[in-house]
């Protein structure tokens, strides 16, 4: 069990950082957002696969942020499982 947890640590932190950058980028799109700057374009393009759905939602309905967090949480779980599978297959 402990070996399994050690194997899952790397994919967890990679997915957390990647999806976290995407979430922060999507939450700073509009000029009235607290973290607004021109860097959101770079962050959104870099994290395009995990932030596209949130990006589209944010432009369609820009007032609410909690659906963005829900979408990104689902993307985090999917990214974590995909990375776990890929890194496990690579180590064999």
List pLDDT tens digits, range 42-66.
988 999 999 999 999 998 987 888 9
| Mean pLDDT value across the chain | 88
Do the beta carbons of residue 83 and residue 15 sit within 8 Å? Answer: yes
User: What's the CA gap between 3 and 7, in Å, rounded?
Assistant: 6
User: What's the CA gap between 22 and 29, in Å, rounded?
Assistant: 11
Give the start-to-end residue ranges of the domains of the chain: 1-91
List pLDDT tens digits, range 28-44.
988 888 888 888 889 88
- SS3 at position 64: coil
Query: Quick one: pLDDT at residue 3?
Result: 66
């Amino acid at each position: 069990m402990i070996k399994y947890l050690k194997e899952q640590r790397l994919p967890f932190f990679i997915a957390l950082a990647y999806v976290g950058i995407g979430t922060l980028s999507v939450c700073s799109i509009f000029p009235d957002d607290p973290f607004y700057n021109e860097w959101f374009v770079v962050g959104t393009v870099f994290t395009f696969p995990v932030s596209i759905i949130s990006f589209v939602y944010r432009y369609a309905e820009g007032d609410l942020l909690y659906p963005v967090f829900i979408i990104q949480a689902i993307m985090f779980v999917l990214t974590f499982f995909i990375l776990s599978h890929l890194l496990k297959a690579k180590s064999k």
